[in-house]
Amino acid sequence: MNKSHDAVTRRGIEFLKVRREMSLIDVGCGGGKNIENLVQMVPVGMVTGVGHPRAWSCFHLINERSFDDNRVSVWTLSSSPR
């Protein structure tokens, strides 16, 4: 997601009916910005991202704490877990 999509994406996320223990998936997770937002919505849940491996070079930097807490996983098109 680039900066021009941020406001639209945040507006869309506001409509999600999410419980704190849910598991969510972000298909086409790109650089991981949406996962950063989603993981805050499910403080005891899990978020999984699926995307192209070249798109998430900065992903780990954005979501480092969530990776460390084992609350985020990423699958690439090669179908291997991160």
26 inside domain: yes
Contact between 62 and 37 under an 8 Å Cβ cutoff? The reply is: no
| Greater model confidence, 22 or 49 | 22
Contact between 49 and 40 under an 8 Å Cβ cutoff? The reply is: no
| pLDDT surpassing 60 at residue 31 | yes
| pLDDT surpassing 60 at residue 3 | yes
16 inside domain: no
Q: Which domain holds residue 40?
A: 21-76
60 inside domain: yes
4 inside domain: no
3 inside domain: no
Q: Is the Cα torsion angle 15, 17, 18, 23 positive or negative in sign?
A: negative
pTM confidence score: 0.73
81 inside domain: no
